[in-house]
Amino acid sequence: MPVTTISGTIVFTDIVGFTQLTDEHGDDIALTLLERQEVLVRRALPDGGRVVKELGDGLLLWFDDPCDAITTALELQRSFEGESDDDLPMWVRIGMHFGCPRARGDDIVGRDVNLASRITDLAAPGEVLCSEATATEAGDLPGVGFEPLGPVFVRGIAEPVPLVRAFAVD
């Protein structure tokens, strides 16, 4: 299989509480959550964005354009909040990193993919966290604010990585 290096933004979504909900309420709940997530994500994807693969209760996404990645992630959080109800909370955290992973077929692998995943671990439900590299690459985005959170140490990465929180500005 040919391997190439590509440049773009790696995005992870992760449903918080998925295991607990499934454990307490059964597999049908799990399927409902996954289907809701996938429908909303596929509906929101712009040209240049795609689902790379499903990862249990999350998705790995790819965006050619970091601006699209950020605005789509914020739009998704609004959609998830709209879909969430008291019976079935749709708590999703989103993290991303702009980098140059290796493309192997439709899949992407490498340090930058791992970093995007670690960034997602630090996000709260409803939040979008980005590496500073992503925000820098995107530049000024209408309707989007960035709050620096400082450098973070992440497992498997030698140096701390500057992190920002992206948020919608009314």
Name the site residues for another protein (rule: CB under 8 A).
16-17, 20-21, 24-25, 86-87, 89, 91, 121-125, 127, 147-155, 160, 163
Residue 27: HSE in the Cβ half-sphere, 13 Å Cα cutoff: 1
Q: Which of 61, 14, 24, 68 is nearest to 42 (CA)?
A: 61
Three-state DSSP class for 83? helix
Q: Are 97 and 115 in contact (CB under 8 A)?
A: yes
* Nearer to another protein (CB atom), residue 18 or residue 98: 18
Q: Please, what is the minimum distance in Å from the beta carbon of residue 136 to another protein? A: 15
CA dist 148 and 31 (Å) reads 36
* Nearer to another protein (CB atom), residue 21 or residue 113: 21
Q: Please, what is the minimum distance in Å from the beta carbon of residue 122 to another protein? A: 5
* Nearer to another protein (CB atom), residue 41 or residue 129: 129
Q: Please, what is the minimum distance in Å from the beta carbon of residue 94 to another protein? A: 13
Q: Are 76 and 126 in contact (CB under 8 A)?
A: no
Which value, to the nearest 10 degrees, does the dihedral of the CA atoms of residues 27, 28, 31, 33 take?
-100
Q: Please, what is the minimum distance in Å from the beta carbon of residue 54 to another protein? A: 21
Q: Please, what is the minimum distance in Å from the beta carbon of residue 163 to another protein? A: 7
* Nearer to another protein (CB atom), residue 60 or residue 163: 163
The whole-angstrom distance between residue 38's C-alpha and the CA centroid of its chain comes to 13
* Nearer to another protein (CB atom), residue 35 or residue 147: 147
